[in-house]
């Protein structure tokens, strides 16, 4: 089978490519990635010499490149996206271009190439924010995006479903909780906090850490995508949940794992439009037989150990990672 992975040098994409080769060693994987600040070919050192692996540097907004890489492809797994909420506050138009226009380009060329499956990776953020007492999101929850990032991902989902309804392109969609694990860019919460502490720096916790997220170990996410490709119904979407925790709970667990106390917490202002809570009901996917294998506690320990063992990967990235949360606040006079 010939698999096109977009954004395969990013955090989840690189983990997915490594997972796919471990479980489907005879397949061919084409990795299309433009290599923005969030794309790291170093994350794919273990597969770069694999004769079944091909890397193509290119942008999903470039129709010619998309057409070229789509030839002979059986399955598309579409990760490529601008994905940092704070950056979407600073520069929303690039999110529209990459996440909406780029997805439309891929859909059109996938249709022309008659691919057997187009799988789109989305996020729980398209559904907006929950209060502490609201029931979790389901596949039937109405979209209510609250950031340019979330709105662009909602727009991308609409494009995907329109190609299924209008052209009968065989699509599936998954909306996942926040991922964590190896090769996670150090501007994101868990790797930023872990690497800050490894460098003897404090961790910037927004507000009092009351915001709630679900956390999904990245390998469990890769397994879920594989499961949907094999057992999911065309034209359907599936939510993938994780462990629901406040940001303060996550921070305390990181501190405890690294032998630190709460004196290492620096409270910072909330970003603009900071959603209070995300929560997912993934009964639809579990009914088909999928469930996560890695608990949050186990996954966090694995993740922390990985950052301890792989300074070569993350240390060069840290100087180029400004505190985008503070930048977003400052730009709007907050």
State the catalytic residue, choosing from 33, 82, 125, 282: 125
Q: Among 123, 106, 170, 109, which Cα is nearest to 12's? A: 123
**What is the CA angle 123-129-132, rounded to 5?**
125
Token pair recorded at residue 154? 């909602």
**Within 13 Å of residue 265, how many CA atoms lie on the same side as its CB?**
19
State the catalytic residue, choosing from 53, 127, 149, 238: 149
- Catalytic status, residue 139: no
Residues 265/247, Cβ–Cβ less than 8 Å? no
Residues 313/246, Cβ–Cβ less than 8 Å? no
Residues 281/216, Cβ–Cβ less than 8 Å? no
| C-alpha span between 38 and 320 (Å, rounded) | 11
- Catalytic status, residue 149: yes
State the catalytic residue, choosing from 33, 59, 86, 124: 124
Distances (CA, A) of 156 to 95, 101, 107, 110, 313: 11, 8, 10, 15, 31
Residues 160/117, Cβ–Cβ less than 8 Å? no
- Catalytic status, residue 125: yes
| C-alpha span between 58 and 45 (Å, rounded) | 19
Where are any strands of DSSP class E within 225-313? 237-240, 243-246, 265-268
| C-alpha span between 113 and 324 (Å, rounded) | 39
The residues annotated as belonging to the active site are: 124-125, 149
């Amino acid at each position: 089978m010939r698999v096109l992975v977009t954004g395969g040098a990013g955090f989840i994409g690189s983990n997915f490519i490594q997972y796919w080769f471990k479980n489907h060693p005879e397949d061919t994987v084409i990795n299309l990635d433009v290599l923005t600040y969030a794309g790291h070919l170093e994350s794919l050192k273990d597969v770069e010499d694999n004769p079944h692996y091909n890397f193509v540097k290119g942008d999903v907004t470039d129709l010619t490149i998309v057409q070229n890489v789509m030839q002979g492809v059986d399955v598309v797994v579409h990760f490529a996206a601008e994905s940092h909420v704070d950056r979407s506050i600073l520069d929303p138009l690039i999110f529209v271009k990459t996440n909406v226009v780029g997805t439309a380009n891929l859909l059109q060329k996938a249709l022309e190439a008659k691919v057997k499956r187009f799988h789109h990776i989305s996020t729980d953020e398209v559904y907006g924010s929950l209060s502490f007492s609201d029931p979790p999101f389901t596949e039937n929850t109405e979209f209510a995006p609250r950031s340019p990032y979330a709105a662009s991902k909602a727009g991308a989902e609409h494009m995907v479903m329109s190609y299924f309804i209008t052209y009968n392109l065989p699509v599936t969609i998954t909306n996942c909780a926040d991922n964590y694990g190896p090769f996670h860019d150090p501007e994101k919460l868990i790797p930023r906090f872990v690497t800050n502490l490894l460098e003897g720096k404090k961790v910037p916790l927004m507000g009092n850490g009351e915001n709630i997220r679900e956390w999904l170990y990245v390998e469990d996410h890769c397994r879920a995508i594989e499961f949907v490709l094999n057992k999911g119904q065309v034209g359907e979407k599936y939510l993938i949940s994780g462990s629901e925790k406040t940001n303060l709970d996550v921070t305390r667990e990181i501190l405890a794992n690294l032998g630190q106390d709460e004196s290492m917490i620096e409270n910072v202002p909330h970003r603009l439009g900071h959603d209070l809570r995300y929560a997912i009901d993934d009964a639809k996917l579990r009914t088909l037989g999928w469930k996560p294998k890695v608990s949050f506690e186990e996954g966090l320990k694995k993740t922390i150990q990985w950052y301890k063992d792989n300074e070569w990967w993350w240390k060069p990235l840290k100087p180029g990672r400004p505190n985008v949360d503070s930048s977003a606040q400052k730009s709007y006079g907050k």
